[in-house]
Amino acid sequence: MNAAARVAEQDRAAGGQHRRTVDIGEGRFARASIALRVYQRTRRIRAYLRWSEAGRTKERYVGEVDGSTRAANLKQAWTAARALELLTEEPAPAGSWASSRETRAIMAANKGRDTKPELLLRRALHRRGLRYRVSTRPLPKLRRTADVVFTKVQVAVFVDGCFWHGCPEHHRPATKQNSDFWRQKVAGNRARDRETDLILQEAGWSVIRVWEHEDPEEAAARITKVVRSRA
């Protein structure tokens, strides 16, 4: 396993890179990892939290783990380290738009293009013989980017995430940490969507919005009908 794979493994087990933080004092933080040691005589597996401080490796024993896989053991160990209060939430950088590292990590993970729903929809459209532009501004002077654009017939398709755009079927408002932030974010996205639709329609465009949960074949059929009707 190379270094990148080891980092990804630790991130998955901890629940994200932002949850692997140790407070080392004086406003400084270190990124920790879990080391698993198998004792040959007893076959027991012990877990240790490790991090670097002033160029030296620090280590704290967090307990024994007994999962059936390495991934399960790492997850157990991170849970134990958190229960022992060995981990902390690293604050977001000064001036950050996010109220915490966790919020910032979630936002950063939100892909701007080529999401799985987009790719499935584009493949379905391509199989129907349609050709299109990807992640393009329908109106060059308007800073609004559509996911799929049929320039000649002026059809703009947006693939909207259920959480980010307030899907009436699947969106569930945040009720815990940063709930006000998320409510305002989603409300702002929905207002921007309505404004975008209105501007494009006034410019002669047909706007189609597809929720990420929709069947890509059904959505492609709907889009194909509109595109061919305007050809």
Q: What is the mean pLDDT of each run of 10 residues along the chain (231 residues)?
A: 88 88 87 92 91 92 93 95 85 50 51 80 96 94 94 96 81 58 83 95 97 94 97 88
Give the DSSP letter string of 202-221.
Answer: HTT-EEEEEETTS-HHHHHH
pLDDT of residue 132: 96
pLDDT of residue 42: 80
pLDDT of residue 102: 52
pLDDT of residue 114: 78
Token pair, residue 156, equals 């703009």
Q: Dihedral of CA 6/102/171/190: which sign?
A: negative
pLDDT tens-digit series, residues 146-194: 999 999 999 999 999 887 788 877 655 655 555 677 778 888 989 999 9
pLDDT of residue 55: 87
Helix (H, G, I), strand (E, B) or coil at 29: strand
pLDDT of residue 43: 83
Q: Which of 6, 55, 12 is closest to 35 using CA atoms? A: 6
pLDDT of residue 96: 46
Token pair, residue 6, equals 């080891």
Token pair, residue 57, equals 């490796």
Using CA atoms, how far apart are residues 127 and 118, in angstroms rounded to an integer? 14
